[in-house]
Structure 1
Amino acid sequence: MKSKLITVILAGGTGTRLWPVSRESFPKPFASLVGDNSLLEQTLARAEAIGSNEIAVVCNREHQFLVQNVLADVSVPCRLFLEPEPRNTAAAMAVACIEATAQDGADTVLLAMPADHRVNDVDAFRRTCGEAVRLAEQGYIMTFGIEPTRPETGYGYLESGDALAGGGFKVARFIEKPELEVAMRLATSGRHFWNGGIFCFKAGVLLQALDQHAPDILAQARLAAAKAERSPNGDRCPTVQYRADEFSGIRSESIDYAVMEKAGNLGMVPAAFDWNDVGSWPSVFAEAEVRDVDGNAVRGDVALVNSRNVSARAESRLVAAVGVENLIIVETADAVLVLNPEHAQSVKTLAEGLKREGHACHDTHLTVYRPWGTYTVLEEGPGFKIKRIVVNPGKSLSLQLHHHRSEHWVVVSGVAVVQIGDEEFTTYPNESRFIPIGQKHRLTNRTGDDLVMIEVQCGQYLGEDDIVRFADHYGRQ
């Protein structure tokens, strides 16, 4: 009997090397970095294409509604595991296996893959996954080996060993990210592959490996699972929300270090598909479909003169460059990155420095996504802030008040239902409402179209934490 196949999508990272597009509140799986769809949307499409019986996404609970919005278009059953904080891939795979075993049994096959990789040849990906699943059903923990195209020092390597019956190879050893001279030998040996971070295994087999090689991680993950809050299974996308008290106690370790480098039943299938981990700006622009005669690749409103080997991305305004070479330029509404490609890994250092300094750009864009829609900060100054608010059809903000600011709401399009105190006011385009300081209020869109408004805040403190919620459809405090 064929085992049930659950694809586990790991979406817990922050993607700091892709700042300023990737931010803590809107990390790279949700961004359209290559192609028109987000990396998460592309990953979900691959999961459907290989015939997954169920898709589970592991993500930070702060990104729950971003993920749910994408899962709404997925045709197979879905499940969502919400982490209170990232604890690396060993924790994510441990809880996924615990849940799969409890729900469907230890023989359930899991295919675990990151949410932020790029694969163009989906047919070849499906064939490789089929081979991995067949070997996983025999009790192997399978990983995907990517044939090197260059001497890469940023990836770990797998050395292929004896052939496995039915295809693939045993993994003779893992090699950590090597120095350049070593990477040059590995890239041309014919026996070494990049570790693509994609794994396939039976849930019970990986739990046994965790029990043998990382028992503390497994024990704490079991405790976190036992204390987790679960939504009803009848929900469109059931959620498992782990509590910080238990989940944060799981040792932060990658599954590579915790299990894969020690397991005796580790196998590898060479990937028959193209692959890009989209881990840095050079890797993003490596996907550019068109480069001009000077080697320039652009996306958005970009003008280049007398420039060579420039990769530029503009999101909100014109980016112009004259007489420059070998640069990457990335523009968003509130930040511009100018990067020497040889220092691409240092973008992470830059983003971490912004976080230490408390700079808003490390965390949020000017457009911020909420469960009910979005808001965009148009302008801010002493004593005022102006926002463009979009409320999705049928959605509602929380019933709330502010201690330090008043708000003026002007409807641009759509129909707003504005609750002020105990009264409700239906408000049409070109009409406005005033919310005094300390007054309970709520904004609702009961129509089938977007509600677009301009909000003007006035007060001595305009921080997003000046919100007292009394009722909320999304469980926020």
Structure 2
Amino acid sequence: MLAAFIMAGGSGERFWPLSTRERPKQLLKLIDPERSMIRMTVDRILPLIPKERIFIGTNAIQAAAIKKELPMLPEDNIIVEPSFKDTAAAIGYGATQISEKLKVKSEKLSKEITMIVLASDHLIKNEENFRQRLTTAIETAKKNKSIVTLGIKPTKPETGYGYIETEECYIGEPAKVKRFWEKPSLERAEKYVENGNYLWNSGMFVFQISTMMDSFNKYMPKHSEIFGNIKRISRIENPEEKIKEQFEKFEKMSIDFGIMEKAENIEVIPVDFGWNDIGSYPALDDVFEKTETGTINRNGKIKEFNSRNNIVIGTGEKEIGLLGIKDVVVVETEDQILICKKNEAQNIKKIIR
């Protein structure tokens, strides 16, 4: 049986002032004027997985907005984490909850649930190709009892992503992971791309739940113990407060550091389906068409002179003039205005705290 777990607990800091903690990037219609990022993610996997087995992992602040945004999903499929404890706790808790919920819904449920873990705010241009690669990952995870990740074939020496090193690298063909690498310097990233056997770490995973829980037992036993406690507590009446107490015991740790960098049964499928994690405003340079001056204009009335390579997002109510300006992000909302150099966009969180 297949299930999907979409992680949607982002803080919304990198796309301020468009996004807020209550309405982060995944709830914005940033790419498609008709659909939010999370709605695009759900629509992307509906041909593979029925809505009854698509689950969302989020927090109490955003849960109501997500339920409103995804009315086609059963309300019980919104899994609310009591506190943010990073991706290891989120994925393990999601796997535990999904197992319990599907057992309740189906008396004929087989012991093995294959779980697809996705981010809620990534852009994928070739969705048919994406589903084909996911199908390969599903088959590989079942056959080899492995944890499979999708590795993006680099298009440039990017310093903002982690990398996955493989022994061989052929698009669409599963390969053994040799090592995970943290975000590199530009010089090292250039070598990775030149070597040809390094992939961007997409943060997308496919595994049988039993395989992942075995890995927690082996590499993160404290997490595993807490999952067991939560599983027992979940069966009592009004368990929310006790589950919250257990959550506070989790050490904050990513799934990459806790399991992926240690486990031996990790495989990667090299892919090239037009992926972009839309991590900050400059990522939009790879998404939208530009004016003759290289500027992206989204819903803004702009006048440019001696200006180029800017990103302008406006309400359409005010005219924005750019004079002698280049490589700048200008974002206007009803209440706030952001102006920053593109190379400072990663630091937006420093001015909103």
**TM-score, normalising length from structure 2?**
0.90
- 1:54 equivalent in structure 2: 53
Distance (whole Å) between structure 1 residues aligned to residue 75 and residue 14 of structure 2: 32
The letter for the 2-side match of 1:223 is N
The letter for the 1-side match of 2:336 is A
Q: Answer 1 or 2: which has greater helix percent.
A: 2
- 1:101 equivalent in structure 2: 99
Distance (whole Å) between structure 1 residues aligned to residue 96 and residue 330 of structure 2: 44
Distance (whole Å) between structure 1 residues aligned to residue 242 and residue 141 of structure 2: 28
Distance (whole Å) between structure 2 residues aligned to residue 231 and residue 19 of structure 1: 40
Contact 2:85–2:253, Cα closer than 8 Å, also in 1: yes
Residue 218 of structure 2 is aligned to residue 221 of structure 1: no
Over 3 Å counting, the alpha-carbon distance change for 1:114 and 1:286 in structure 2 is: same
Contact 1:303–1:321, Cα closer than 8 Å, also in 2: yes
Q: Answer 1 or 2: which has greater strand percent.
A: 1
**TM-superposed deviation, 1:17:** 1.4
Distance (whole Å) between structure 2 residues aligned to residue 271 and residue 35 of structure 1: 23
2:184 to 170, 173, 178: 178
- 1:145 equivalent in structure 2: 151
1:95-150 Cα deviation digits (max 9, x unpaired): 12223334245410000011111112110111010000000112110000001111
Report 1:130-209 matches (<5 A): 130-138=135-143, 139-161=145-167, 167-209=173-215
Distance (whole Å) between structure 2 residues aligned to residue 187 and residue 19 of structure 1: 32
Q: Greater Rg, structure 1 or structure 2? A: 1
Residue 119 of structure 2 is aligned to residue 118 of structure 1: no
Structure 2 portions without partners, runs of 5+: 104-108
The letter for the 1-side match of 2:206 is C
- 2:106 equivalent in structure 1: none
**TM-superposed deviation, 1:308:** 1.2
Structure 1 runs of 4+ with >3 Å offset: 228-232, 239-243
Provide the identity percentage: 27
**TM-superposed deviation, 1:55:** 0.4
The letter for the 2-side match of 1:170 is K
- 2:263 equivalent in structure 1: 263
Distance (whole Å) between structure 2 residues aligned to residue 5 and residue 231 of structure 1: 29
1:55-106 Cα deviation digits (max 9, x unpaired): 01100022121111122135x8971210122111111111122233342454
Residue 291 of structure 2 is aligned to residue 286 of structure 1: no
Over 3 Å counting, the alpha-carbon distance change for 1:276 and 1:129 in structure 2 is: same
Structure 1 portions without partners, runs of 5+: 233-238, 356-477
The letter for the 2-side match of 1:195 is N
Report 1:233-382 matches (<5 A): 243-288=243-288, 290-306=289-305, 307-315=307-315, 317-323=317-323, 324-351=325-352, 355=353
- 1:38 equivalent in structure 2: 36
Contact 1:82–1:241, Cα closer than 8 Å, also in 2: no
Highest relative contact order (Cα 8 Å, sep 6+), 1 or 2? Answer: 2
**TM-score, normalising length from structure 1?**
0.67
- 1:79 equivalent in structure 2: 77
Report the 3-state secondary structure (helix = DSSP H, G, I; strand = E; otherwise coil) of the residue aligned with 1:145: strand
Distance (whole Å) between structure 1 residues aligned to residue 76 and residue 138 of structure 2: 20
Report the 3-state secondary structure (helix = DSSP H, G, I; strand = E; otherwise coil) of the residue aligned with 1:66: helix
**TM-superposed deviation, 1:230:** 8.9
Contact 2:169–2:270, Cα closer than 8 Å, also in 1: no
1:203-253 Cα deviation digits (max 9, x unpaired): 000000011001111211332333348999xxxxxx999832111221111
Report the 3-state secondary structure (helix = DSSP H, G, I; strand = E; otherwise coil) of the residue aligned with 1:49: coil
Report the 3-state secondary structure (helix = DSSP H, G, I; strand = E; otherwise coil) of the residue aligned with 1:148: coil
Contact 1:228–1:241, Cα closer than 8 Å, also in 2: no
Aligned length: 340
What CA RMSD, in Å, does the superposition of the two structures yield over aligned residues?
2.4
Distance (whole Å) between structure 1 residues aligned to residue 241 and residue 280 of structure 2: 31
Distance (whole Å) between structure 2 residues aligned to residue 22 and residue 241 of structure 1: 29
- 1:17 equivalent in structure 2: 14
